Amino acid sequence: MAERRWAPRWAPVSVRARLALAATAVLGLALVLAAVAVPVVVRTALLTSLDEAAGQRAREVAALADAGPLPDPLPVTGAAVVQVLDAQRRVLASSPGGDRLSPLVDGQALRTARAGEPVALDGGRLGSAEGFRVLALPLRAGAGSAAGGTVLVATSVAEVERSTGVLRAAAGVGVPLLLASVALLAWAVAGSALAPVEALRRGAEALALAPAPRRGTGAGAAPAARSLPVPGSRDEIARLAETLNDVLGRMHAAGDRQREFTGDAAHELRSPLGSLRTQLEVALARPDDQDWPQVARDCLTDVERTAVLVEDLLVLARLEQPGGRQDTVDLAELCAAVAASAAWRVPVRVASSGPEAPGGAVVLGDARSLRRAVANLLANAARHADSAVELRVGREGGEAVLDVVDDGPGIAAADRERVFGRFTRLDDARDRDAGGAGLGLAIARAAVERDGGTLAALEPPTGRGALLRARLPLAGPG
């Protein structure tokens, strides 16, 4: 049993749930960090602004001390409390509402403030329930009686705390609501995005459960029953569906060809085998009345026909396999060798079809398959020719061209594509010895196409006979 990849048991099974959870988790982490960081940043900014205002007041009071005797109370506007201490930390002057007897801060707190660090002050010290923040400014030696002393400015931080509290409360309410909204939105968007995938899954399931189409079924309903739904969007899923449909179409077409080929092959094999069995059964039923040498010759004829058919089927099966040998083949020499390899029913001539020398038509392909293709084309032409067959070899547009021309009855325009089908016989009245099994041209086309070429039946220039033209890429630059 294959080892399953480890996954947490709590992990959601569906892709939709995982996407929604991932989006919510990422945004939730960002929101929580923002909910923690924003109040801190805002509070720091407000305190900085508060300290700047307190520093400005301290500098104004320091300027008064430098100018002459300090007024008492100090003329300070706003809610800040200001004190001026002398070098012995005694209160020289204070703003209205300030303590004139003892400094706002003393001891270590005063030393910290004089060092430039604001210190916290309990509001009870000034008769208030709110907290204060004390900033200190040391005075220079020329400040009169306050020389060497300190200016203390205490500012309420209540407004800062209220603003920060509002932010924290808003984050405490808004973050869960926003997370819930994002989770619902992510669920809906993921569902919408994955709906075509689910449609593809249902389509694939329907294809898997649908019965295979029987041979002879009309093609009208085939596309709907043998393809996946393609979404109307032009995104990756639509392109995936189109690609899958193309693959399915090729697979169905290959399956149809295989089923048709199997049925035709079985029918073709059944005929000689049935004939052979019938001859043997008749001969064995009345053995004394038989000419056994003739019976053997008749049976051998059926055996040879069966052997040829089986060999053709094996050749077709080999040609359907991808890849093959890559030989350098001179098409003119190959045609000359095939023409000279047998005594054909009519004369066969190999000639050049253009200004190029025949020896220049060199192609790259499987020499054995190409020889079989040329032999099949020549055999087909010789079978139907009235007096002669001509093989014309040349080059055209970077391709080697082979024309097989005969002066027989020709091929009707409606049959020029059908003639390359397997087990196709255009003349149903002729006997099998003359017509063969109908695989010769199918093998020829498969061999040519395997090496990147084409084979087609064309209208002959003279209007009489048949013209079969094969095109193959040249082995080198044309």
Which residue has better confidence, 354 or 186?
186
- Give backbone dihedrals phi and psi of 356, rounded to 5 degrees, phi first: -75, 145
Percent of the chain with pLDDT over 70: 85
Q: How many CB atoms lie within 10 A of CB 137?
A: 20
- Single-letter code of the amino acid located at 346: V
Provide DSSP, 335-397: HHHHHHSS--SS-EEEEESSSS-GGG-EEEE-HHHHHHHHHHHHHHHHHH-SS-EEEEEEEET
Lowest mean pLDDT among 68-77, 184-193, 333-342: 68-77
Place of tokens 């004939």: 275
Across 390-409, average pLDDT = 89
| pLDDT on residue 455 | 92
- pLDDT per residue as tens digits for the range 257-276: 777 767 767 766 777 788 88
| pLDDT on residue 236 | 81
Across 248-262, average pLDDT = 76
Which residue has better confidence, 135 or 219?
135
| pLDDT on residue 432 | 39
Whether a cis peptide bond, with omega within 30° of 0, leads into 73 is: yes
pLDDT band, very low/low/confident/very high, at 242 (cuts 50, 70, 90): confident
Q: What average pLDDT does the chain have? A: 80
Tokens of 44: 């720091």
Q: Is the dihedral of CA 372, 376, 382, 388 positive or negative?
A: negative
Q: Is the dihedral of CA 430, 434, 437, 438 positive or negative?
A: negative
Q: How far apart are CA 279 and CA 287, in angstroms?
A: 12
Cα 476 to the center of its chain, rounded Å = 36
| pLDDT on residue 404 | 92
- pLDDT per residue as tens digits for the range 159-184: 888 888 888 888 888 888 988 898 89
Across 91-119, average pLDDT = 84
Question: Is the pTM value of this prediction over 0.85?
Answer: no
Q: Is the pLDDT of residue 66 over 90?
A: no
Q: How far apart are CA 468 and CA 402, in angstroms?
A: 8
Q: How far apart are CA 274 and CA 272, in angstroms?
A: 5
Listed ranges 86-90, 156-160, 384-388; the one with the highest mean pLDDT: 384-388
Radius of gyration of the chain (CA): 50
Domains contained in the chain, CATH given: 70-156 (3.30.450), 259-319 (1.10.287), 327-473 (3.30.565.10)
Q: How many CB atoms lie within 10 A of CB 367?
A: 15
Q: Is the pLDDT of residue 336 over 70?
A: yes
Across 245-264, average pLDDT = 76
Across 457-475, average pLDDT = 87
| pLDDT on residue 478 | 46
- Give backbone dihedrals phi and psi of 147, rounded to 5 degrees, phi first: -60, 135
Which residue has better confidence, 245 or 433?
245
Which residue has better confidence, 262 or 335?
335
pLDDT band, very low/low/confident/very high, at 469 (cuts 50, 70, 90): very high
| pLDDT on residue 7 | 52
Q: Is the dihedral of CA 45, 47, 48, 54 positive or negative?
A: positive
Q: What is the DSSP letter of 99?
A: -
Provide DSSP, 400-468: EEEEEEE-SS---GGGTTGGGSTT--S-TTS-HHHH-SS-HHHHHHHHHHHTT-EEEEE--TTSSSEEE
| pLDDT on residue 12 | 57
| pLDDT on residue 238 | 81
Tokens of 156: 């309420």
Provide DSSP, 184-206: HHHHHHHHHHHHHHHHHHHHHHH
Q: Is the dihedral of CA 429, 434, 439, 441 positive or negative?
A: negative
Q: Is the pLDDT of residue 54 over 90?
A: no
**Burial of 73 from C-beta contacts in 10 A (0-12 / 13-18 / 19+):** middle
| pLDDT on residue 470 | 92
Across 51-73, average pLDDT = 82
At what angle are helices 440-450 and 367-384 packed, to 10 degrees?
Answer: 150
Q: Is the pLDDT of residue 457 over 50?
A: yes
| pLDDT on residue 435 | 46
Using H for helix, E for strand and C for coil, what is the string for 73-94? CCCCCCCCEEEEECCCCCEEEE
**Which residues, including other chains, have CB under 8 Å from residue 305's CB and lie 6 or more apart?**
272, 432, 433, 437
Helices (H), 210-232: 222-225
Across 40-60, average pLDDT = 87
Q: How many CB atoms lie within 10 A of CB 162?
A: 11
Find residue 328's DSSP bridge partners: 364
Which residue has better confidence, 376 or 123?
376
Q: How far apart are CA 76 and CA 95, in angstroms?
A: 6
Q: How far apart are CA 102 and CA 94, in angstroms?
A: 10
Q: How many CB atoms lie within 10 A of CB 74?
A: 22
pLDDT band, very low/low/confident/very high, at 324 (cuts 50, 70, 90): low
Tokens of 64: 């008064």
| pLDDT on residue 222 | 41
| pLDDT on residue 217 | 47
| pLDDT on residue 10 | 53
